[in-house]
Amino acid sequence: MDKEIILYNFNVNLETIARIKNGHKIYIDSNQMIQLDEPYMFQGLWRYCYSISRKDALYVLTKLFNDIEIYINALYLNVNLINKDIRISRSTSKDAILFISNIQKLNTNIQNANQGIKYLQETYKEDKETENKLQRIIDKGNSLITSFQTMIQ
């Protein structure tokens, strides 16, 4: 898959997560993109019929953040191999400039997505295990932001 498409999908999914409000849930559509499931009368029945559970949401979020980490680390290594040292050549290297731009956008989207995940925590506040797992995902997002900032300094 093309690098731009992968980054685009990461950003679209993060932007979707950022739009989560209290009571919303999420699911994956047939294109493997995160979709919001706004509260409505038969939401539970619909989720039951299609076997969509909160464990699925946790899996999707965990996988997204792990995939972002792996992909960005691979890009960083690639840019470093091409440029020998991103810190020295970033002002002139097209690859390094693009990499920095992508990191900055992802960082912003991760920060915004963390707020959406906090709303999911509120939605699942009666389930302490899910709430704790969502907190670990938020912590992972914060760790990614710190790590990515270090890469581009």
**Residue 25 and residue 39: Cα distance in Å, rounded?**
8
Domain span holding position 131: 3-152
Here the tokens at position 79 are 């840019």
Q: Please state the pTM of the whole predicted model.
A: 0.86
Here the tokens at position 10 are 């990461």
- Residue range 32-73, pLDDT digits in tens: 899 888 776 777 766 667 677 788 889 999 999 999 999 999
- CATH number, domain at 131? 1.20.1050
Distances (CA, A) of 43 to 25, 130, 145: 9, 19, 34
**Residue 26 and residue 37: Cα distance in Å, rounded?**
5
Neighbour tally for 84: CB within 10 Å: 9
Looking at residue 32, the DSSP 8-state letter turns out to be S
**Residue 53 and residue 59: Cα distance in Å, rounded?**
10
- Average of pLDDT values for 86-112? 80
Tokens 């670990």 belong to residue: 136
Helices (H), 19-93: 43-49, 54-83, 86-89
- Residue range 76-92, pLDDT digits in tens: 888 776 665 555 455 55
Count of structural domains within the chain: 1
